[in-house]
A and B are shown apart, each in its own frame.
Chain A
Amino acid sequence: MPTLFAQLSTLLSSLVLLFGITLLWRRSLHAYVDAFQWQSVTLSIVFATVAYFTSNPELYVVAAIFFVLKAVIIPLYLNRLEKQVGERPESQPYVNIATSLASAGLLVVLAYLITYPVVRVSLLPTRGGLPLAMGLIFIGLFAVITRKQALTQIVSFLVLENGIALLAVLGTFGVPLIVELGVFLDVLMGFLVMQVFVYHIHGTFESIDVEQLNRLKH
Chain B
Amino acid sequence: MIGYLLEIAQAALALALAPLLVGFVRWVKARLQNRRGAPPWQPYFELGKLFGKEVVISNNASWLFRFAPYLVFGSTVLVAFLVPLIVAPLPFDPAGDLLAVIYLLLLGTFCLALAGLDPGTAFGGMGASREMTVAAIAEPTIALAIFGLALGAGSTNLGRIVTQTLSQPGVVISPGHLLAFAALFIVTLAETGRLPVDNPATHLELTMIHEAMILEYSGRYLALIEWAAWLKLLIFLSLLANLFLPWGIATALTPAALGLALLALVVKLAFLGTFIAVVETRVAKLRLFRVPELLGVSFVLALLAIVSSFLMR
| Cβ-Cβ contact count across A and B, 8 Å cutoff | 61
Q: Which residues of A in the span 90-129 have a Cβ within 8 Å of any Cβ on B?
A: 97-98, 101-102, 104-105, 108-109, 112, 116, 128
Of the candidates B179, B303, B311, the one whose C-beta lies within 8 Å of that of A14 is B179
Could you tell me the distance between the alpha carbons of A116 and B310 in the complex, rounded to whole angstroms? 12
A25 contacts partner chain B, Cβ-Cβ < 8 Å = yes
A11 contacts partner chain B, Cβ-Cβ < 8 Å = yes
Q: Decide: B178 and A101 in contact? CB cutoff 8 A.
A: no
Q: Which residues of B in the span 172-212 have a Cβ within 8 Å of any Cβ on A?
A: 173-175, 178-179, 182
Instruction: Enumerate chain A residues within 8 angstroms of B300, measured Cβ to Cβ.
Output: 21, 101-102, 104-105
Could you tell me the distance between the alpha carbons of A30 and B297 in the complex, rounded to whole angstroms? 19
| Chain B CB within 10 Å, residue with most, of A105, A109, A131 | A105
Instruction: Enumerate chain A residues within 8 angstroms of B307, measured Cβ to Cβ.
Output: 108-109, 112
Instruction: Enumerate chain B residues within 8 angstroms of A11, measured Cβ to Cβ.
Output: 173-175, 178
A21-B300, A97-B296 as given contacts; A116 in contact with B170, CB under 8 Å: no
Could you tell me the distance between the alpha carbons of A97 and B297 in the complex, rounded to whole angstroms? 10
Instruction: Enumerate chain B residues within 8 angstroms of A105, measured Cβ to Cβ.
Output: 299-300, 303-304
Could you tell me the distance between the alpha carbons of A175 and B292 in the complex, rounded to whole angstroms? 42
Chain A 1-24 per-residue mask, 1 if CB under 8 angstroms from chain B, else 0: 110000110110110011001000
A14-B178, A116-B311 as given contacts; A7 in contact with B173, CB under 8 Å: yes
Of the candidates B293, B297, B308, B311, the one whose C-beta lies within 8 Å of that of A21 is B297
Interface residues on A, range: 20 to 34
Q: Decide: A14 and B296 in contact? CB cutoff 8 A.
A: no
Could you tell me the distance between the alpha carbons of A17 and B303 in the complex, rounded to whole angstroms? 14
B295 nearest CB neighbor, chain A only: A98
Could you tell me the distance between the alpha carbons of A113 and B297 in the complex, rounded to whole angstroms? 22
Chain A 128-156 per-residue mask, 1 if CB under 8 angstroms from chain B, else 0: 10011000000000000000000000000
Q: Decide: A101 and B175 in contact? CB cutoff 8 A.
A: no
Q: Which residues of B in the span 49-81 have a Cβ within 8 Å of any Cβ on A?
A: none
Interface residues on B, range: 20 to 34
A1-B170, A14-B179 as given contacts; A101 in contact with B311, CB under 8 Å: no
Instruction: Enumerate chain B residues within 8 angstroms of A10, measured Cβ to Cβ.
Output: 174-175, 312
B176 nearest CB neighbor, chain A only: A14
Instruction: Enumerate chain B residues within 8 angstroms of A104, measured Cβ to Cβ.
Output: 300
| Chain A CB within 10 Å, residue with most, of B173, B294, B297, B301 | B297
Q: Decide: B299 and A101 in contact? CB cutoff 8 A.
A: yes
Instruction: Enumerate chain A residues within 8 angstroms of B178, measured Cβ to Cβ.
Output: 11, 14
Instruction: Enumerate chain A residues within 8 angstroms of B175, measured Cβ to Cβ.
Output: 10-11, 13-14, 128, 132
Listed from nearest, the 6 A-B pairs whose CB atoms lie closest are: A14-B175, A101-B296, A105-B300, A105-B303, A98-B296, A97-B293
- Chain B positions within 8 Å of A, measured between CB atoms, are 168, 170, 173-175, 178-179, 182, 292-294, 296-297, 299-301, 303-304, 307-308, 311-312
Could you give 6 example pairs across A and B, Cβ below 8 Å?
Answer: A8-B173, A10-B175, A101-B296, A101-B297, A109-B307, A112-B311
